[in-house]
Each structure stands twice: as C-alpha cells, then as structure tokens.
Amino acid sequence: MRRIAIVLFVVAVILAVAVVMFGWPPDESTEAAIGTVEEVIASQVVYIQQHQFYVVATEEGFIALADDSRHVGDRVLFCRSNGTFSSPAHGERFDPLGQYVGGPAAGDLGRYSVTVADGRVFVNLATLRLSERSSSTYQPTGPRCEGAEDPAGFYQDGP
C-alpha cells in the first residue's frame, strides 16, 4: 500500500511539472508599446503588423484601429494618397478615423483603447470595441489606391 502511495505521489509531481513547463499559458502582455508621441505624430499612421492594428495621430490624440474590415475577415490597408482605409479584396472603405464610408462591411473598424504615459503611446489589446456603421460623410481628396501592399499595412506608393 505504501509503494502505491509513493508511485502516485511521484506521478502527480511529474504531471504538475509537465503542466507548468508545457501547458502554462505564455505571459503575454495585453499592452503594446507603439513608440514615442513624436514618432507617431511624425508618421501620422503606424501599422503594428504583429498585432494587426493601426495607430492614427489625430488632432484630439491617438486612436488604434483593427485592420479587419469586418467582412469575411478581409484586411484593410491604408491609402496615403486619400487618407482612407480600404480592403483590396471587396472594396470596403473607411475614413481616417475608421468610420464606415462604403462597401459590405458590418460596421466601423474596431477600436482599441490608447494611453500615453511618459511620452510613449500604448495600446490595450484586450479592449477591442466594435460598433455599427456610422455612415461617415468623409470625402477623399486624392486618388483611390489599388494594387500591392508595401510596406505592410499600406498600399504601395506610386504606379
């Protein structure tokens, strides 16, 4: 009887060690550091490929927008020439604040909470909020973008 108890104890310890080493969830922070306030303002729009979202510098501060067009998982790209986000797959379009302009999207681009601390911009990845279509009245002033993605998250400049 004593041998069985010892064997069961050893098996339990081995299982506990295996769970801690291989089954424990990784320590992933829910906050992404984007860069300094000056860097984000200078870029105006920054794409964070690892987490698939944009940070946009606005007159009121910063907003973080998901790159999901909310239509069958299509991504949006930012078009520098007219300041819009659009999907190369099905043509969904959004204004610079992520508000719906046109296409088959279910609503505006998703938004994350943004904070600024010690001169740096941070995005809370656990705060994605989705909203209905806001029907933006934004009128792009430049040409519509089409074609290749280069760099990541942006339509290629030029022909």
Residue 17 lies in a domain: no
Strand-by-strand arrangement of the 53-58 sheet: 31-36, 120-129, 111-117, 61-66, 53-58, 45-48
Model confidence pLDDT, tens digit, residues 62-75: 999 999 999 998 99
The pTM assigned to this predicted structure is: 0.80
Residue 159 lies in a domain: no
Residue 1 lies in a domain: no
Q: Domain range for residue 73? A: 31-129
Residue 53 lies in a domain: yes
12, pLDDT greater than 80: no
Q: How confident is the model at residue 87 (pLDDT cuts 50, 70, 90)?
A: very high
118, pLDDT greater than 70: yes
Residue 52 maps to which CATH number? 2.102.10.10
